[in-house]
Chain A
Amino acid sequence: MDRKVALAIVALAPLVVLPCLGSPALPAQVALALALAALPPALVALGAARGGRLDGILRWACVGLFLLLAAGLLALIALHEHPQALFAGVPAALLVLLGGLWGAPIVLVLWVYTARFGAFGIRGADLERLRALRRSAEDG
C-alpha cells in the first residue's frame, strides 16, 4: 500500500510541476511548493519499501520530511512580500533556508537512514541469496 501511494505521488507531482512552473499566480506557486515538497519523501518511500510496505518509523520520517520541506517552501512564498523581516537580527528568509530547508531535514534524513538501515537496506541474507543466484547461473 505504501509503495502504491508513493508511486501515485511521484506520477502526479510532475503533472503539477509542469504547468505551475509557467504561472506566476499565487495558487500555482503554492501548488508547486507542495508538489516539490512531496516528491523527495515519495521517492524515499518508493526506494525504501520492502514487500510494498514501509517500516513504521520510516513512514513517519517521510511525513516529517514532507512537512519540513512544505513549511520551508511555503514560508519563502509568505516572506516574499516581507524580505526585511528579521528573527534574532538575521533575515527570516535566510533562517528558513539554513534551518528549515537545510539544517532540520539533513539531521532527520541522515539519522533515519543510518539508524534504520536494517529495516530497508542491504542485509547479509539478501547478499547470500543474490550471490547464490549468480553462482547457480554461472554453473549453468
Chain B
Amino acid sequence: MSALGGRPWILIVAGLYLAATLAIGFWALRRTRSAADFFVAGRGVGVVAAGLATMSAAFSGFVFLGGPGLTYRLGLAALMINVPVSFTGALLAWVIGKRLRLLAEVREVFTVPDAFRVRFGSRAASGLAATAVLVGSVGYLAAQILALGVLGENLFGTRELLGAWSLPVVMAIGTVVVTSYCVAGGMVAGVYTDVFQGAVMVGAATAVFVQCLRVGGGLGEMTRAIAASPRFGAGFLDPLGGAGAAAAFGFFFVFGIGVLGQPHMVHKFLMLRDPERLRYLPLVLGVAQSLCLLIWLGIGLAVPALVARGAMPPLGQPDDAAPAFLLGFAPQWLAGVVFAGALAAIMSTASSLLNLGAAALVRDVPRACGRRIGDELGAGRLATVGLAIVAAAVAWGYGDLIALLGTFAFGTFAAALGPALAIGLNWRRVTGRAAAASVAVGLFANLGLELLQRWRPAALPALRPGVPASAVALAASFVTLFVVTALDRRAVELPADVAAVLEV
C-alpha cells in the first residue's frame, strides 16, 4: 500500500481534489461578511446543493473505509446501519425540516441550540443542547482526523519515510487543510465544498460498485464464494448472525431514528433559500445517499469473495478492505477518484462539525448563560482553530478504532438531541424542563454506558453483548421526555409566532 510511487495517477487525482477544495474555500472567503454567512451560509443555498451537502456531511470516512471493513468483520449485519437510508431523508424533512425552517422565518435561528431556546424558552435546555453539540462534535471531528491520518498514510506512503511519526504528521497536515478553509469561509466554504465533495463521493461510489460487480462476477457469484468458504461461511450472509439480533436491531434503531438528532444534517435545513423547495430535498438526499452506499455494499461483498477464492490474501486489519481492493483490483484513475472521494467524505464531515462546534462555543453556550459575544464572526474563526486542535489531540491520544469513536459521536447526537427535537417541534405540550431532562439523560447515559463498556467494575451488570450503548441511551431519552412531560403540570405558554409554527 505504500508503493504509490508506481501509481502516479492516484496521487495526481488526489492532489487535484485537494487543490479544488482549497480553491473553493478561498473563493468563499470573499463571500463571508457576516455571522449569518459564517454559520448558515447567508441562508441562500439551493435545494440540490443543500441535499448534496447534507449527504456529504452525514457520510464520513466511515462509509468509505469503516463500512467495508465492518462488513468484512461482521458480515451482512453491518448493512443494518445502511438500510434505514430508505426513509431517513424524508423522515428528517417530515419531522424536523419543516418546522425548524419555519422557526427560522420568525426568529433568529442559526443553530440547533438556538432552536431549543426559541421553542422551549429554556436556557437550561439550550445550554445542555449546546454541550451535547460540543461533546459530539469533538468526538466526530477526532474520528475524522484519525481517518484522514490513516487514509493519508496509505495514500502517500509516509509510514516508510516517517515511521512512528507518520500518523501524527499526516493528521496534522489534514487538520490544517480542513481548518484553513473553514476559518476562511465558514459555512459558505463548508457547504460549497460539501457540494463538490458530495458529487465526487457519488461518482466514486457508483463507479467502484460497477467495478466490484465486474471483478466479483455479480452478487450471486460473490455470495456463493463467501458461503462456500470455511473462513466466512453461510453465517456471513445472515444479517442477524455476525453480531447478533440485538446489535443488528440496535444499529437499525440508532441509525434510523437517531438521524433526527444529527445537527450537521439538521443544520442544512436552516440554509435553504426557499422553504417551499423542501419538497425536493429528500429526493436529492435519498438518491445521493443510496448511490454513495453502493461502495459499502460492493467492497463489503467483493473483498470477502476475493479472499474466499484465494485471489486476495486475508486482511490483517478489516479497515484495509477498501484500500486493498482499490490498489489491487481497480484501475489507477478509479482508485484515485475513490481515494479522493474518501478524502471528500472525511473532510466534508469535519468541516461541518468544525462550524457547528464553533457556533456552540461562541454563540450557544454564551447565550445559554445570558451573555453575548460582540464579534461572533471573529470569535467563530478563533473557536474553529481551537476545536481543531482539541480534536486532533483527542485523535492522537485515542488509540482505538475509528468506527468506535464515530459511533459514540453519532450516538451522542442521537440520544441527546433526537427525542427533544422530534417530539418538541411537533407537540406543544413538551416543556423546557422535559426537553432539558431528555437531553441530559441522552447525553450522560450514552457517555456513561460507553465508559462502562470499557472500564466496568465487576459489581455492575453489563449490557447484553452486542447491544449498542447509544440504542439504550436513545430509548431512555425518549422515555424521559414523555415521563417528564406527563408529570409537568404547568400550562405551556408559547409565544404567538412559535405557536403558529407548531400549528402548520
Decide yes or no: A91 and B227 within 8 Å by CB, A120-B94, A133-B106, A133-B497 being known contacts. Answer: yes
Decide yes or no: A127 and B464 within 8 Å by CB, A32-B249, A80-B240, A114-B282 being known contacts. Answer: no
Decide yes or no: A113 and B94 within 8 Å by CB, A33-B249, A36-B256 being known contacts. Answer: yes
Q: Is the CB of B105 within 8 A of A127?
A: yes
- Please tell me which one of the listed residues B80, B83, B246 contacts residue A22 in the complex, with CB atoms under 8 A apart: B246
Q: Is the CB of A134 within 8 A of B106?
A: yes
Q: Distance (Å) between the CB of B417 and the closest chain A CB?
A: 15
Decide yes or no: A110 and B286 within 8 Å by CB, A40-B256, A40-B257 being known contacts. Answer: yes
Inter-chain contacts of A60 with B (CB < 8 A):
none
**B157: Cβ under 8 A from any A Cβ:** no
Q: Distance (Å) between the CB of B118 and the closest chain A CB?
A: 12
Q: Is the CB of B471 within 8 A of A105?
A: no
Inter-chain contacts of A97 with B (CB < 8 A):
76, 79-80, 83, 239
Q: Chain B CB within 10 Å — which of A44, A48, A65, A93 has the most? A: A93
**B82: Cβ under 8 A from any A Cβ:** yes
Binding-face segment, B134-142, B329-337, B422-430: B422-430
Q: Distance (Å) between the CB of B274 and the closest chain A CB?
A: 9
- In the assembled complex, the Cα of A20 lies from the Cα of B402 at a distance in Å of 29
Inter-chain contacts of B240 with A (CB < 8 A):
76-77, 80
Binding-face segment, B13-21, B95-103, B206-214, B371-379: B95-103
Q: Is the CB of B105 within 8 A of A131?
A: yes
Q: Chain A CB within 10 Å — which of B76, B98, B249, B287 has the most? A: B249
Secondary structure of the B contact surface, majority rule? helix
- With CB as the reference atom, state the residue of chain B lying closest to A29: B245
- In the assembled complex, the Cα of A123 lies from the Cα of B78 at a distance in Å of 40
Inter-chain contacts of B90 with A (CB < 8 A):
44, 109-110, 112-113
- Scoring A residues 69 to 101 as 1 if CB is less than 8 Å from chain B, else 0, what string do you get? 000010011011001100011110110111001
Q: Is the CB of A73 within 8 A of B220?
A: no
- With CB as the reference atom, state the residue of chain A lying closest to B253: A36
Inter-chain contacts of B105 with A (CB < 8 A):
127, 130-131, 134
Interface size range on B against A: 35 or more
Q: Is the CB of A84 within 8 A of B464?
A: no
Inter-chain contacts of A96 with B (CB < 8 A):
239
- Scoring A residues 116 to 140 as 1 if CB is less than 8 Å from chain B, else 0, what string do you get? 0100111110110111011001000
- With CB as the reference atom, state the residue of chain A lying closest to B93: A113
- Please tell me which one of the listed residues A73, A91, A121 contacts residue B223 in the complex, with CB atoms under 8 A apart: A91
- Scoring B residues 141 to 179 as 1 if CB is less than 8 Å from chain A, else 0, what string do you get? 000000000000000000000000000000000000000
- Please tell me which one of the listed residues A10, A39, A126 contacts residue B102 in the complex, with CB atoms under 8 A apart: A126
- In the assembled complex, the Cα of A20 lies from the Cα of B55 at a distance in Å of 32
Q: Is the CB of A77 within 8 A of B102?
A: no
- In the assembled complex, the Cα of A87 lies from the Cα of B280 at a distance in Å of 35
- In the assembled complex, the Cα of A105 lies from the Cα of B91 at a distance in Å of 12
Q: Is the CB of B94 within 8 A of A47?
A: yes
Q: Is the CB of B237 within 8 A of A94?
A: yes
A-B contact count (CB 8 A): 209
- In the assembled complex, the Cα of A90 lies from the Cα of B76 at a distance in Å of 13
Q: Is the CB of B223 within 8 A of A17?
A: no
- Please tell me which one of the listed residues B85, B95, B102, B245 contacts residue A43 in the complex, with CB atoms under 8 A apart: B95
Decide yes or no: A105 and B86 within 8 Å by CB, A93-B76, A114-B282 being known contacts. Answer: yes
Interface size on A, residues (CB 8 A): 67
Decide yes or no: A80 and B245 within 8 Å by CB, A18-B476, A94-B76, A122-B98 being known contacts. Answer: yes
Inter-chain contacts of A13 with B (CB < 8 A):
478
Q: Is the CB of A21 within 8 A of B471?
A: yes
Q: Is the CB of A102 within 8 A of B290?
A: yes
Inter-chain contacts of B286 with A (CB < 8 A):
106, 109-110
- Please tell me which one of the listed residues B80, B85, B278, B425 contacts residue A106 in the complex, with CB atoms under 8 A apart: B85
Q: Distance (Å) between the CB of B199 and the closest chain A CB?
A: 20
**A63: Cβ under 8 A from any B Cβ:** no
Q: Is the CB of B87 within 8 A of A105?
A: yes
Q: Distance (Å) between the CB of B59 and the closest chain A CB?
A: 16
- In the assembled complex, the Cα of A90 lies from the Cα of B426 at a distance in Å of 42
Q: Is the CB of A76 within 8 A of B239?
A: yes
- Please tell me which one of the listed residues B101, B282, B422 contacts residue A122 in the complex, with CB atoms under 8 A apart: B101
Q: Is the CB of A83 within 8 A of B85?
A: no
- With CB as the reference atom, state the residue of chain A lying closest to B419: A14
Inter-chain contacts of A29 with B (CB < 8 A):
245, 249
List A residues at the B interface (Cβ < 8 Å).
7, 10-11, 13-15, 17-18, 21-24, 29, 32-33, 36, 39-40, 43-44, 46-48, 50-51, 65, 73, 76-77, 79-80, 83-84, 88-91, 93-94, 96-98, 101-106, 109-110, 112-114, 117, 120-124, 126-127, 129-131, 133-134, 137
Which 10 A/B pairs are nearest by Cβ-Cβ distance?
A47-B95, A83-B238, A105-B86, A14-B478, A89-B220, A117-B279, A47-B94, A106-B86, A14-B475, A101-B83
List B residues at the A interface (Cβ < 8 Å).
76, 79-80, 82-87, 89-91, 93-96, 98-99, 101-102, 105-107, 219-220, 223-224, 227, 234-235, 237-241, 244-246, 248-250, 252-253, 256-257, 260, 275-276, 278-280, 282-283, 286-287, 290, 297, 422-423, 425-427, 463-464, 467, 471-472, 474-476, 478-479, 482, 496-497, 500-501, 503-504
A-B residue pairs in contact (CB < 8 Å), sample of 28: A14-B474, A18-B476, A18-B479, A22-B464, A24-B464, A36-B252, A39-B256, A40-B87, A43-B91, A43-B257, A44-B95, A47-B96, A47-B422, A77-B240, A80-B238, A83-B235, A83-B241, A94-B76, A94-B219, A97-B239, A102-B82, A106-B85, A109-B90, A124-B276, A130-B102, A130-B500, A134-B105, A134-B107
